[in-house]
Amino acid sequence: MADPRIVLDSGDVARALTRISHEILERNKGADDLVLLGLHTRGVPLARRIGERIASVEGTAVAVGELDVTMYRDDLRTQPTRRSHKTEIPPGGIDGKVVVLVDDVLFSGRTIRAALDALADLGRPSAVRLAVLVDRGHRELPIRADHVGKNLPSARSERVSVRLAEVDDLDEVTIA
Q: Any idea where the domains of the chain sit in the sequence?
A: 5-70+87-175
Mean pLDDT of 87-107: 97
What DSSP letter does each residue of 9-35 carry, written as one string?
-HHHHHHHHHHHHHHHHHHHTSSTTEE
Distance CA 111, CA 93 (A): 21
The predicted pLDDT at position 81 comes to 63
Mean pLDDT of 145-151: 98
The predicted pLDDT at position 126 comes to 98
pLDDT band at 114 (very low <50, low <70, confident <90, very high): very high
CATH fold for the domain made of 5-70+87-175? Rossmann fold (3.40.50)
If phi > 0 it is left, if psi is from -120 to 50 it is alpha, else beta; for residue 116 that is alpha
Mean pLDDT of 143-158: 96
What is the side-by-side order of every strand in the sheet holding 5-8?
Answer: 5-8, 172-175, 160-163
The predicted pLDDT at position 1 comes to 62
Mean pLDDT of the chain: 95
Helices (H), the chain: 10-28, 43-58, 110-122, 165-168
φ, ψ of residue 23 to 5 degrees: the values are -60, -40
Q: Return the DSSP state at 70.
A: G
Distance CA 11, CA 143 (A): 28
